[in-house]
Amino acid sequence: MSTIRLLPEALISQIAAGEVVERPASVVKELLENSLDAGATDIGVALAEGGIKQIRVVDNGAGIASDDLAMAFARHATSKIASLDDLEQVRSLGFRGEALASIASVARVKLASRAAGAARASAIGAEGGSIGTAEPAAQPEGTAVEVNDLYYNTPARRKFLKSETTEFGHCEEVFTRTVLSRPDVAFTLRHNGRVAARIAPGDPAKRVEAALGEEFARSMRPVAADGGVLKLSGFVGSPAYTRATRDAQYVYVNGRFVRDKLLAHALREAYRDVLHGERHPAYVLFLEIDPRGVDVNVHPAKIEIRFRDPRAVHQFVFHAVAKSLSASAAEAPAAIATPAVEGHSITPQFRQAGLGLAQPVAKYAAMFAERPPGAALAPAPAKDGAAGAPLGYALAQLHGIYLLAQNSEGLVLVDMHAAHERILYEKLKSALDSRAMNTQKLLIPATFHADRVDVATAEEHGSTLNLLGFDVAAISPFALAVRAVPAMLAEADASVLARALLRDIREYGASRVLTERRDELLGNIACHGAVRAHRALTIPEMNALLREMEETERSGQCNHGRPTWFQMSLADLDKLFMRGR
Ligand code: ADP
Ligand code: MG
């Protein structure tokens, strides 16, 4: 007797279903895709028990002719493509013709539909892979799909399902992805009879706010890049808005939500200069590309893709996002018009701090009422002079932490340390890139105790240290002397800098310190080298800092993603004092 035999049709379907229908959320995804492909403008999703008990998706799309109802459940049956050529330029979300077949093989499904313009509707049932016959039914134009008792016939799979709450969470995530992808469509989500979300059609920014919340919406910056064959649009969260997880990163390619390593990498790189540490950025981005330039048929779940020219896509996305993030201090506030909030108009820089409005108002109101003793007053610069310098001219230093300046719009507040840190970082980067790190010999070398490993590291990696502008020599088996530092760091504590450097080299190795770890290391050095709070600066020193900020890219954010300065316009101040009311 032969040992190789064909599997029964029902088992084949169940095996295939495993790839498409992993959990209730995958059913929700496939049904939503079908509704969007049918041109629906209003889609309702209703779940019971996290979708395990029931998933119902109702749309007002084009519907299915009653003669076609049974065919919709057939495996590899689709109305969306007919040839290889179609597949290569597919624009619909579905095209494999296997979602309904897969779902029907592991659940009890009812499909009711009325095609646009048809006199009546029909319904059909399918259960465990056997398809019933179409019968007349009551149903407005559009389609309703009901999926009951998922995995009722495959108990092993059913066991893998998590709690109702977890499964609902996954369904909600699929819902959010879909909602973000189509601002023009109305969506409703119900769970166990309660409305969980009701989202009206709106513009893309409104939709992002509805789906991801007001805080993100306030921080985000628009992205709009047109590279001819490639287009990128959407929103990126400012570096001041970060999250502990990657949960708010949405990327779409031709309207399809994707998980793609290449795109994720391009975005990580774009944020690298403004975001350090363990935090993750948030973004909603839509890449449009000629369908021939991307293969969506990589996996049955259609969430993975392959680009024909990955390098071009990477570069395009990286530059578009980096550009939007690096709007320099001089441009940022003027470029973005901000709507009034609760009667006050506040600049984007203000909003990025994530502070409530009441807080800064109270804070700055108190500041002017008291005029603290630490504030040394300088003569106000000529008015026309302030117009030429976007960040204006220094007035005073506040409590050794903030610099106050006057520009043509009003008051500028600068976090001295954060701003200086950003400037040093950018300068260190370009000096290292052009191998032109100016060093300064220390008149009196800074010596410090070190362990044997540090001493050995300093000796072994002298050339790396030199490249970074440092000269560190062993003066005993337990002591090191810093004899030179980068000129721009001449005023910093040389031994603190050297220790930080040696720690990095020990931990990551000299070559990684100069490559993948480079920006982090330079950020670290810049932080140590930047003016400490409570250091008194003279007015010319402050003005020099302001001028350097204007020249430095990305000076609106410090290396840790915090904002470095705020603009308070005269109008803002007038409001504080209720002038002109
Ligand atoms: P695919 O989406 O890959 O074509 P499916 O199994 O998901 O495969 O659906 C099979 C067919 O059923 C679709 O090609 C479409 O013609 C029809 N269909 C499914 N859902 C809907 C819907 N909500 N509205 C209109 N037609 C639908
Ligand atoms: Mg489909």
**pLDDT tens-place string over residues 182-195:** 999 999 999 999 99
Residue with tokens 């970074």, as numbered in its chain = 468
pLDDT value of residue 38: 97
Q: What pLDDT, on the 0 to 100 scale, is given for residue 131?
A: 92
CA distance 267 to 325: 11
Beta carbons within 10 angstroms of residue 342's beta carbon: 7
200, 184 Cβ separation under 8 angstroms = no
**DSSP code string of 175-208:** HHHHHHH-TTSEEEEEETTEEEEEE----HHHHH
Please state, in angstroms and rounded to a whole number, the distance separating the CA atoms of residues 545 and 417: 10
Q: Where are the alpha helices (DSSP H) in 183-336?
A: 204-212, 214-219, 261-272, 310-325, 332-335
Strands 186-191 and 194-199: antiparallel
Ligand 1 atom 7, closest CA? 99
Distance CA 6, CA 338 (A): 66
- The model's pLDDT over 252-265, given as tens digits with 9 standing for 90+, comes to 999 999 999 899 98
Q: Whose CA is nearest to atom 1 of ligand 1?
A: 97
For a pocket test of ligand 1, which of 28, 66, 78, 92 has the largest count of ligand atoms closer than 8 A to its C-beta?
78
- Report the DSSP pairing between strands 186-191 and 135-137: unpaired
Residues 353 and 566: beta-carbon distance below 8 Å? yes
The residues near 168 (Cβ < 8 Å, ≥ 6 apart) are 47, 50, 51, 191
Closest ligand to C-alpha of residue 101 is 1
Give the per-residue pLDDT at 340.
Answer: 29
* Cα-to-centroid distance, 229 and ligand 1 (Å): 30
Q: In whole angstroms, what is the distance from residue 558 CA to residue 225 CA?
A: 25
Name the packing angle between helices 164-181 and 204-212 (round to 10°). 170
Q: Is 139 in the pocket of ligand 1 (CB under 6 A)?
A: no
Token digits of residue 474? 């062993």
Q: How far is the CA of 90 from the centre of ligand 1 (A)?
A: 15
The tens-digit pLDDT sequence of the chain (581 residues) is 678 888 887 788 888 777 788 899 999 999 999 999 999 999 999 999 999 999 999 999 999 999 999 999 998 899 998 888 888 888 899 998 999 999 999 999 999 999 999 999 999 999 987 899 999 999 999 999 999 999 999 888 888 888 899 999 999 999 999 999 999 999 999 999 999 999 999 999 999 999 999 889 988 999 999 988 899 999 999 887 888 778 899 999 999 999 998 999 899 888 887 776 677 899 999 999 999 999 988 887 788 899 989 888 998 999 999 888 876 433 333 233 233 223 232 233 322 333 222 223 333 233 222 333 333 333 344 444 445 688 999 999 998 889 999 998 899 999 988 888 888 888 898 888 888 888 989 888 899 988 888 889 999 999 999 999 999 999 888 899 999 999 888 888 899 899 989 988 888 888 888 888 888 888 888 888 887 766 788 888 899 899 988 888 777 777 767 788 888 999 889 888 887 65
Residue nearest atom 2 of ligand 1, based on CA coordinates: 94
User: Can you tell me which atom of ligand 1 is nearest the CA of 78?
Assistant: 14
How many degrees, rounded to 5, is the angle at CA 221 between CA 219 and CA 222? 145
b/e string for 205-227 if b means 16 or more Cβ within 10 A? eebbbbbbeeebbbbbbebebeb
How many A from CA of 72 to the centre of ligand 1? 6
How many angstroms separate the first and last alpha carbons of the chain?
A: 97
CB 238 within 8 A of CB 202: no
Written as six digits, the tokens of 53 are: 């008990």
Q: Which atom of ligand 1 is nearest to the CA of 101?
A: 6
| Pocket of ligand 1 contains residue 39 by CB under 6 Å | no
Instruction: Determine whether the shortest distance from the Cβ of 51 to ligand 1 is under 6 A.
Output: no
Residue with tokens 């610069």: 381
Longest distance between any two alpha carbons in the chain, whole Å: 103
Q: What spacing in Å lies between the alpha carbon of 182 and ligand 2's midpoint?
A: 17
Q: Would you say 510 and 461 are in contact if contact means Cβ atoms under 8 Å apart? A: yes
User: Ligand 1: distance of its center to the CA of 34 in Å?
Assistant: 5
According to DSSP, residue 573 is labeled: H
**288 DSSP β-pair partners:** 231
Q: 415 and 564 in contact (C-beta within 8 Å)?
A: yes
Q: How many other CB atoms sit within 10 Å of the CB of residue 340?
A: 9
Residue in 418, 421, 483 with CA at minimum distance from that of residue 446: 483
For residue 95, give the ligand nearest its CA.
1
Q: Which region, left, alpha or beta, applies to residue 540 given φ > 0 means left and ψ of -120 to 50 means alpha?
A: alpha
Bridge partners (DSSP) of residue 44 are 58, 188
Q: Considering only CA atoms, which of 196, 221, 195 is closest in space to residue 208?
A: 221
> CA 401 to CA 536: how far, in whole Å?
9
> Residue 574 and residue 343: Cα distance in Å, rounded?
12
Q: Is 38 in the pocket of ligand 1 (CB under 6 A)?
A: yes
Which residue has a Cα nearest atom 19 of ligand 1?
34
Nearest CA to ligand 1 atom 25: 63
Task: Ligand 1, residue 102: give the atom nearest the CA.
Answer: 6
Task: Write down the pLDDT at residue 364.
Answer: 28
Report the residue among 37, 55, 73, 141 best suited for mutation to probe ligand 1: largest number of ligand atoms under 8 A from its CB.
37
Would you tell me the crossing angle of helices 494-508 and 452-460 to the nearest 10 degrees? 80
Residue from 100, 139, 143 whose mutation best tests the ligand 1 pocket (most atoms within 8 A of CB): 100
**According to the model, what pLDDT value does residue 580 have?**
67
pLDDT tens column, 156-206: 888 888 889 999 999 999 999 999 999 999 999 999 999 999 999 999 999
Ligand 1: does its nearest atom lie under 6 Å from the Cβ of 469? no
Helical H runs in 449-529?
452-460, 462-467, 494-508, 510-514, 518-529
User: Is any ligand 1 atom within 6 A of the Cβ of residue 501?
Assistant: no
Contacts of 76 (CB under 8 A, 6+ apart): 96, 97, 98, 101
Distances (CA, A) of 282 to 78, 240, 461, 522: 36, 10, 38, 24
Ligand 1 centroid to 33 CA: how many Å?
9
- What residue's CA is closest to ligand 1, atom 14? 78
C-beta separation of 473 from 460 below 8 A: no
